[in-house]
Amino acid sequence: MPILGSTELFDDVHKKDLCVDCGACVGLCPYFVSHNGKIARLFPCTLPQGRCFAHCPKTEVDLNRLSTWMFGSEYDLSALGAVTDIRKAKAGPAMTDRGMFQNGGTVSALLTLGFRSGRITAAALTSRKGLTPEPVLAESEEAVLACSGSKYMASPTLSTVMKESASGSTRRMAVVGTACQMTALAQMRMNPLEREDFRDPVALSIGLFCTWALDTRKLKHLLKDHMDLDSIVSMDVPPPPAQVMTFNTSSGTVDIPLSDIRPLIPKGCGICPDMTAEFADVSVGALEGEPGWNTLIVRTARGAEWVEDAAAQGFLILEAMPEASLANLKTGALGKKKKALLRAKEDNCLNVAPEAGRSALVIDPERVESLLT
Amino acid sequence: MTHLGHYPEGSRHLLMGNEAIVRGALEAGVRMAAGYPGTPSSEIIENLAAISKDPSLHLYVEWSVNEKVALEVASSASFAGLKTMAVMKQPGLNVAADYLLHLSGSGVRGAMVLVSADDPGALSSVNEGETRHYAKLMEIPLLEPGDFQEAKDMTRWAFELSDAIRNVVLVRTVTRLSHASGTVIMGRVPENDKQAFFKHDGFIIDPNEGVVMSPPVEYKHGEQHRKLKQAESLFENSPFNTYTGPDTPELLIITSSICSLYSREAVHMLGLESRVGILKIGTTYPLPRQLMKKHMAACDRIFFVEEVLPFLEEEVKIIAAECAADIGVKTFFGKKNGSLPMVGEMNPDKVIAALSKIMDTAMPQRDAAYAARAGAVAFGGSPHREATFCPGCPHRASFFTLNTALSMDNRNGFVCGDIGCYSMGVLPAGFSTLKTLHAMGSGTGVASGFGKLSKFGMDQPVLSVCGDSTFFHSAMPPLVNAIHNSSDMTLVVLDNSGTAMTGFQPHPGIERDAMGDTAATIDIPAVCRAMGAEVRVCDPFDLHHSRETLLELIGRKGVSVLVLKQGCALSPEKKSSRRYDMRVDETICAGESCGCNRMCTRVFACPGLVWDKEKTKARIDDVTCAGCGFCADICPRGAIVKKEVA
Ligand SMILES: Cc1cc2nc3c(=O)[nH]c(=O)nc-3n(C[C@H](O)[C@H](O)[C@H](O)COP(=O)(O)OP(=O)(O)OC[C@H]3O[C@@H](n4cnc5c(N)ncnc54)[C@H](O)[C@@H]3O)c2cc1C
Ligand code: SF4
Ligand code: SF4
Ligand code: SF4
Ligand code: SF4
């Protein structure tokens, strides 16, 4: 697929409002920056090809190429992508210090092992100031725990990775991010511009299951009349039938109806076919009906090695994935795929013929058709 | 220039038009002069200020806060019986106009001259406003010097005229007269040391001892007209109106000011001396009717050469219509019939082209070989350069901060601007950050209004900029307005510690006045705070602090003020000093590659940064770089290294 420059990125993503604030174009150069939950282009850049375009998960993303590069297998539009193992997981006894885990603390446990074992010296994580998500380059186990808990807002988390990579740093890091961020990260790791100075800093990519990540500015606008934004301790989206999003504040819990929340979903999330963060070494989500547990999908050999070691050293407790939950997960994941591909077709950004324009997504058209029919 | 007061009578000196005006005022015995800087008028007050300490000259000179105040200040001396002068550029006359209407109605006591300088072609302005119509509007006499000697002589005579008619006399100069130089023969500078005293106890409408005011209007207005008639009759025999040419020319050129020189040149170049006459008018308003009638009677074809608007043309046409029975019907050429363009500066070439057409003579051809050579040299010899800020200019840094902050804020915010060096914020030099550009202080007034449009769904951040001098000149009232009317806007004061654009004239924020004496200073942040604005002060060379602060301010409701304080790079205090030694570390510079693409030389474009095409790396031009250090902050790689100068 063609790799173009920032002008095309600006036209195809920013102007069409498809940006999901992943941060993959930020920190590489002086032109793209993130401020208050939104990505800005400061000045036009004249280069015909650039990493900004190459990394972006909304510009000419060839999922088959990505899958082949990462897993050695074709992108087949299966519900969960490349999977070597699926388990029910949670933080184990070795996790003596506990953070405000979102679910089972699997993510924090994997990261803690990473630091403890010297596999990594840094991790690209996401913290929060009020309701503004803040990319953090964690350099200690304490910093990992400080970042625990989900911020259901789109966050430019990848900017720290891009900055590290662009600066030529040689340290090894883990990266935690949502599905689009994992797609962007994988594209970055492919060294799409074949730069000689490229070095992949990623030792482990941990994907988070994701249905959507809200527009930060709009969420702030909605919530400021309901609560003091600085008093928010944590947030959650309880599974159906609860039709609310829950905010725990220092002065109590506030439920906001999902019907008020849905309009805050960025347009770019609507064409995202990926619920389980398929382009990561491991992916972690909630486990239906079991709040203290996670669903853990292992996708790569190094992911498997990491998870096994975590279990062996007591950082993780692993159990078999309940069949019913797995079936529901697949249904949900396929549902997201169908909806996204329909929307992408409608918006004319799926498999666009080169002479007719540019695509956001490129997926084997036959497979698309068979999924949709 | 400091000798201007002491050149002996009869001596010849090369004087700039503005210096000639100063000398004329000195020969008239001027005691007070007040003005506000503005190209091309500034050297008049500057020169007077420079010699103001000379005890033999008895002068008080000031830079006033704005032109209206300058006119008010200058008039006080007149009310106290002294000779006085106010000086401004034409847009400033608009500012002073309100007072001028009252003043011309009240009349003056000591002789008072108002010098207004026009900038046809807007060489250093954002408009080409005309002074001359004000004479008509305000019903006061207008003189227009046509050369350097006249600049002196007419200024001097303007005081005499004012003395005779007891009203303000307007003298209009233009850039090409004010800023060019020519030989001037000196007259005598009188020695006198008159005392100031304001008489106010007489009969209320007594012009010498009563109340100085324009009422009772009908009476005073009538007096004003009588004075104007008196001026007209003096003009009939004025030596400043001259005629050269045959007794019965085929074409009569009527012209004034510097256009009289263009007319002479055109007639000469076309060899039309025996066929075309030139009536050069120095006393443009009110026109001496008998003189005009006499010359028009001798010729049926009349060509007006003037700039910018057809003022003479219209005034003469009225007289021609009224006298048609005596002098016959005339054919007119000028701006109205398209012989000359309605806009822009006049020059000999335009006059030659029009005249050759009217007279049906061939234009003098330039030698073809010479024209080709000149063209080649002109084309290849001078590289194209955009107008830009100086190296080390705090405005470039400020606009970089403003522009990037607004992009980051990402709500389509914009900046309203006004007049100063920082007007270049509309150009790429200022990253095209200014989106409206009007009169002094207007950015803030316009912003005050924009800041109320949220009522109609406008949610764009509204900013304005003004300089420190402009802040005092005319940004304070709109700021008060914005605060009182609960507008949402941010004023950014680009405080470079002086009236930089016109040559560092002091203003109320500076601890020195026009005459060089220590002066009380007015603190801009304190004033804004006292008004009720949320105020921050930053150094524009600190990109991150300034930008964070600005982002915070434009996120708030209400009126906020950010003062970006840093001296102009050319200010006398800074000019030859450098804060940092700068260099580019070539081993880190990312140059044109993805990751930078020449941020420093392509986007920021300080002239101190150059692109080394061979090495494909950026480089500091040591001669040009002013060592401000700002560019170190914009380089994404940290390749621009600054080292504090020991
Ligand atoms: C925007 C968003 C939407 C999600 N949607 C779903 C969903 O629909 N279904 C589902 O099963 N799970 C979803 N998750 C995942 C779920 O909320 C938990 O993050 C996951 O189960 C891991 O739990 P844990 O206890 O192991 O996490 P913890 O150990 O608490 O660690 C959480 C990690 O998430 C990272 N993080 C937090 N916010 C963000 C963010 N905005 N962007 C990137 N990284 C972030 C932090 O850096 C931290 O390392 C979502 C997560 C996010 C951030
Ligand atoms: S990432 Fe590269 S191509 Fe894109 S804007 Fe930056 S320098 Fe230009
Ligand atoms: S989706 Fe990510 S990479 Fe694409 S423009 Fe937005 S922040 Fe940049
Ligand atoms: S901004 Fe820095 S990296 Fe980019 S060209 Fe200039 S010196 Fe080199
Ligand atoms: S330090 Fe940089 S910005 Fe300042 S004058 Fe020198 S080159 Fe220009």
- Kindly report, residue by residue over B78-111, the tens digit of the pLDDT: 999 999 999 999 999 999 999 999 999 999 999 9
Per the prediction, chain B carries an average pLDDT of 95
For the cut 90, the answer to whether the pLDDT of residue B629 exceeds it is: yes
Between A106-120, A229-243, B501-515, the lowest mean confidence (pLDDT) is in B501-515
What is the pLDDT at residue B2?
60
Residues B519 and B605 in one domain: no
Sequence-distant (≥ 6) Cβ neighbours of residue A214 within 8 angstroms: A152, A153, A154, A261, A264, A265, A266
The whole-angstrom separation of Cα B607 and Cα B386 is 11
| Contact status, residue B494 vs residue B422, Cβ threshold 8 Å | yes
Q: Which of B409, B551, B634 minimises the CB distance to A30?
A: B634
Co-location of B228 and B270 in the same domain: no
Contacts of A38 in chain B (CB under 8 A): 410
Residue A230 confidence (pLDDT) above 50: yes
3-class secondary structure per residue, B242-305: EEECCCCCCEEEEEECCHHHHHHHHHHHCCCCCCEEEEEECCCECCCHHHHHHHHHCCCEEEEE
Domain end point (choices B209, B235, B261): B235
Residue A72 has pLDDT above 60, yes or no: yes
Same domain, B187 and B38: yes
- What domains can you pick out in chain A, each with its CATH number? 6-215+265-372 (no CATH), 218-262 (3.10.450)
pTM, 2 dp:
0.94
- Residue B385 covered by a domain: no
Expressed in angstroms, the distance from the first to the final Cα of chain A is: 26
Residue with tokens 């409206």: B436
Own/partner long-range contacts of B203-212 (Cβ < 8 Å, ≥24 apart): B207/B107, B207/B109, B207/B166, B208/B109, B212/B79, B212/B106, B212/B107, B212/B109
Pick from B340, B336, B252, B233: which is nearest to B296 by CA?
A: B252
Distance A20 CA to ligand 3 centre (A): 6
CB-CB contact of A208 with A277 (8 Å): yes
Regarding whether B143 and B41 lie in a shared domain, the answer is yes
Which domain-ending residue is among B201, B218, B235?
A: B235
- Higher-pLDDT residue of B343 and B509 is B343
- H or E segment and range at residue A65: helix A63-71
C-beta of residue B106 within 8 angstroms of C-beta of residue B214: yes
The tens digit of pLDDT for each residue in B370-417 reads 888 888 887 776 777 788 999 999 999 999 999 999 999 999 999 999
Ligand 1 centroid – CA A208 distance (Å): 5
Name the residue of B574, B606, B623, B640 to mutate for ligand 5: max ligand atoms within 8 A of Cβ. Answer: B606
Say yes or no: CB of residue A155 within 6 Å of ligand 1. Answer: yes
pLDDT score for A167: 85
Q: How confident is the model at residue B1 (pLDDT cuts 50, 70, 90)?
A: very low
pLDDT of residue A98: 84
Shared domain for B191 and B99, answered yes or no, is: yes
In chain B, how many domains are there?
4
| Residues B131, B17 share a domain | yes
Q: Do B594 and A51 touch (CB under 8 A)?
A: yes
With CA atoms as reference, report the closest residue to A276 among A320, A336, A339: A336
Q: Give the contacts of A236 (CB within 8 A, at least 6 positions apart).
A: A102, A150, A245, A246, A248
Hunting for tokens 């309605």 — which residue is that? B342
Find the closest chain B residue to A164 by CA distance: B637
Ligand 3 mean position, distance from CA B604 (Å): 25
| CATH number of the domain within which B544 lies | 3.40.50.970
Determine the distance in angstroms separating the CA of B422 from the nearest CA of chain A, rounded to an integer: 20
Query: What are the phi and psi torsion angles at B511 (to 5°)?
Result: -85, 35
The CATH number linked to B629 is 3.30.70.20
Q: Take residue A320 and report the two structure tokens written for it.
A: 């078999």
Is pLDDT larger for residue B196 or for residue B366? B196
When the pLDDT of each residue in chain A is averaged and rounded to a whole number, the result is: 96
Give percent above pLDDT 90 in chain B. Answer: 89
Q: Does A43 touch chain B (CB under 8 A)?
A: yes
Q: Same domain for B258 and B213?
A: no
For A184-226, the pLDDT digits (tens) are 999 999 999 999 999 999 999 999 999 999 999 999 999 999 9
**B429 shares its domain with B559:** yes
Same domain for B169 and B259, yes or no, is no
Residues B160 and B37 in one domain: yes
**Residue B627 domain boundaries:** 580-644
- Tens digits of per-residue pLDDT, B220-251? 999 999 999 999 999 999 999 999 999 999 99
**B82 CA to chain A: closest CA distance, Å?**
58
Does the residue B373 lie in any domain? no
Tell the residue number behind the tokens 């702030």, with chain if given.
A220
Q: Is residue B574 part of a domain?
A: no
Distance (Å, whole) CA B221 – CA A112:
92
Residue with the smallest CA separation from ligand 3 atom 3 is A56
Smallest Cβ distance to A29: which of B409, B410, B596?
B596
Cβ atoms < 10 Å from Cβ of A348? 12
What tokens were used for A84?
Answer: 């070597």
CATH number at residue B290: 3.40.50.920
Question: B455 in a domain, yes or no?
Answer: yes
Question: Has residue B379 been placed in a domain?
Answer: no
In a domain, B380, yes or no: no
Taking 80 as the threshold, does the pLDDT of residue B574 lie above it? no
Which residues in chain B are closer than 8 Å to A15, comparing Cβ atoms?
none
The number of the ligand nearest the C-alpha atom of A212 reads 1
At B487, is the secondary structure helix, strand, or coil?
A: coil
CA distance B89 to A93: 82
Show which of residues 531-570 on chain B sit within 8 Å of chain A, judged by CB atoms. 551
B592, B616 in Cβ contact below 8 A? yes
pLDDT tens digits, residue range A113-153? 999 999 999 999 999 999 999 999 999 999 999 999 999 99
Choose the closest CB to B404 out of A42, A50, A193: A42
Sole residue written with tokens 């601890």 = B511
Q: How confident is the model at residue B142 (pLDDT cuts 50, 70, 90)?
A: very high
Residue of A nearest to B552 (CA): A36
- Mean pLDDT, residues A14-32: 97
CB atoms within 10 A of CB A4: 20
B431 touches A: beta carbon within 8 Å: yes
Tell me: do B414 and B530 sit in the same domain: yes
Show which of B358, B385, B412 is a domain's final residue. B358
Q: Which of B53, B114, B113 is nearest to B89 (CA)?
A: B114
Q: Which of A20, A102, A216 most suits a substitution to test ligand 1, by most atoms within 8 Å of the C-beta? A: A102
Q: Identify whether residues B500 and B407 lie together within a single domain.
A: yes
Q: Is residue B573 assigned to a domain?
A: no
* pLDDT tens per residue across span B428-483: 999 999 999 999 999 999 999 999 999 999 999 999 999 999 999 999 999 999 99
